[in-house]
Structure 1
Amino acid sequence: MRTAIVFNHPYEKSYCNAILEAVSNGLKKGQHEVDLMHLDNDGFNPVMSKADLKAFVEHKPIDPLVIDYNKRLEKADHLIFIFPIWWDLMPAMTKGFIDRVLCPGVVYDHHPRGFGLVPLLKDLKSVTIITTMNKPKIMYSLLIGNLIKKAMLRSVFKAMGYKNVNWISLASVKSVSQEKRLKWLLDIERKFAKWATITNHFCRQSS
């Protein structure tokens, strides 16, 4: 099984980086192949230029990195996003990935009858979004309205027709104890080790 991870955080000692390590370790224990798309290290440009938009409409990407990401997405069985929530939404690079990489003709297409969208990544079995934030979870839910859930789960992947979409939200990261942060990492590693093992077993049984 091949799991693509889209990672976005510029600081190498961030908690998001610790999450990335925990997720990767868990997946490898479950014998998943991990394909990391590190947007910051790859120098991904989130800006949609005039040329990019023309290529987007024509279903013919021109940016070599976007083309590379597209090819890797087509090979993925699972897709994981890891990023911090800044000002209640995703960072610019993650938003740019959604705008420029999740493009028609590759990730989705318009329904032939004109009703909604249809998914094109036939091998993709699940999408998982993992976020960190400093707000309490209840404040983000009640006051802000869980914008990540609305913007990424509903308005992007579910709108495209992908059904198995999940969100792991880690809140109040700066204010919780170091022990709790370490426990979260252990839980995440165990979750993805077990999750990878279960999905591998299911695919062997189905093949």
Structure 2
Amino acid sequence: MRILVVHAHPVETSFNAALHRTTVDTLRAAGHAVDDCDLYAEGFDPVLSRAERLGYHDTDANRDPVRAHVDRLLAAEALVFVHPVWNFGFPAILKGYLDRVFLPGVSFRLVDGKVRPALTNVRRLAAVTSYGGTRMRALLAGDPPRKAVTRVIRAACGFPPVTYLAHYDMNRSTDATRAAFLARVERTMRAF
């Protein structure tokens, strides 16, 4: 399977970078063709320009500024996001990627004013993430990143199976809890 892995963390020595490496290495070892999109390493510009917003609904031209990323997304049969949760949301670079790449005509179509999925090439969806706080704290805040992946992005893909792996309470994590989560990510990606 062709899998696009989208990684969003600026520090190559972080636990999130270890999650990214484990995800990519395990998927490749399982025989998948992995397109590894490290947004920070690639210098992705997350800022939606005025011109892009004005041309947002022009499906003939809206993808031009991010064509390479759109092409990668449209070539994928599966999509995996690897990112931390910061301030109960995605890192800005990942939010900007979604704003600039998940465009009308790419991730959705408007049919009679209603949104219809367009990323039906994506047959599997996953997120591998970490939260500073506990699961309860995330629930009390509404857990926007989980909802974005398991509802909004999933809907854009035509409701494929979704896997959401989250390591909670990173603020008090230990070597043992991090190792256990890495092992869980490896097991899950091996069977992906």
TM-score, normalised on structure 1? 0.85
Match of 2:69 in 1: 69
Contiguous gaps of at least 5 residues in structure 2:
none
Question: Which whole-Å CA distance do the structure 2 matches of 1:192 and 1:152 have between them?
Answer: 17
Match of 2:155 in 1: 158
Higher helix fraction: Structure 1 or Structure 2? 1
Alignment of 1:173-192 (within 5 A): 173-192=170-189
The one-letter amino acid paired with 2:2 is R
Shift of 1:25: 1.8
1:147 to 135, 144, 147: 144
The one-letter amino acid paired with 1:149 is R
Say whether residues 1:25 and 2:25 are aligned partners: yes
Contact 1:83 1:91 in 2 (8 A): yes
Shift of 1:160: 6.1
Match of 2:128 in 1: 130
Contact 1:109 1:118 in 2 (8 A): yes
Between stretches 36-45 and 167-176, larger displacement belongs to 167-176
The one-letter amino acid paired with 1:151 is A
Contact 2:79 2:124 in 1 (8 A): yes
Shift of 1:58: 0.7
Contiguous gaps of at least 5 residues in structure 1:
196-207
Question: Which whole-Å CA distance do the structure 2 matches of 1:125 and 1:43 have between them?
Answer: 28
Question: Which whole-Å CA distance do the structure 2 matches of 1:134 and 1:79 have between them?
Answer: 24
List per-residue Cα deviations over 1:48-84 (Å, max 9, x = no partner). Answer: 1111113322122232xx2101101111010001111
3-state DSSP class of the match of 1:52?
helix
CA 1:72/1:160 → structure 2, altered by over 3 Å: closer, same or farther?
A: closer
3-state DSSP class of the match of 2:4?
strand
3-state DSSP class of the match of 2:45?
coil
Question: Which whole-Å CA distance do the structure 1 matches of 2:41 and 2:145 have between them?
Answer: 24
Question: Which whole-Å CA distance do the structure 2 matches of 1:7 and 1:149 have between them?
Answer: 16
List per-residue Cα deviations over 1:66-103 (Å, max 9, x = no partner). Answer: 21011011110100011111111111111111111001
The one-letter amino acid paired with 1:138 is M
Question: Which whole-Å CA distance do the structure 2 matches of 1:187 and 1:41 have between them?
Answer: 26
Query: What is the percentage of aligned positions where both structures have the same residue?
Result: 28
TM-score, normalised on structure 2? 0.91
List per-residue Cα deviations over 1:105-162 (Å, max 9, x = no partner). Answer: 1222113x43x32222332102112211110111211x21212123343234326643
Question: Which whole-Å CA distance do the structure 1 matches of 2:156 and 2:121 have between them?
Answer: 18
The one-letter amino acid paired with 1:29 is A
| RMSD value, Cα | 1.7
Say whether residues 1:13 and 2:10 are aligned partners: no
Shift of 1:174: 3.4
Structure index of larger Rg: 1
Between stretches 171-180 and 1-10, larger displacement belongs to 171-180
Question: Which whole-Å CA distance do the structure 1 matches of 2:103 and 2:150 have between them?
Answer: 16
Question: Which whole-Å CA distance do the structure 1 matches of 2:17 and 2:146 have between them?
Answer: 22
Question: Which whole-Å CA distance do the structure 1 matches of 2:38 and 2:115 have between them?
Answer: 28
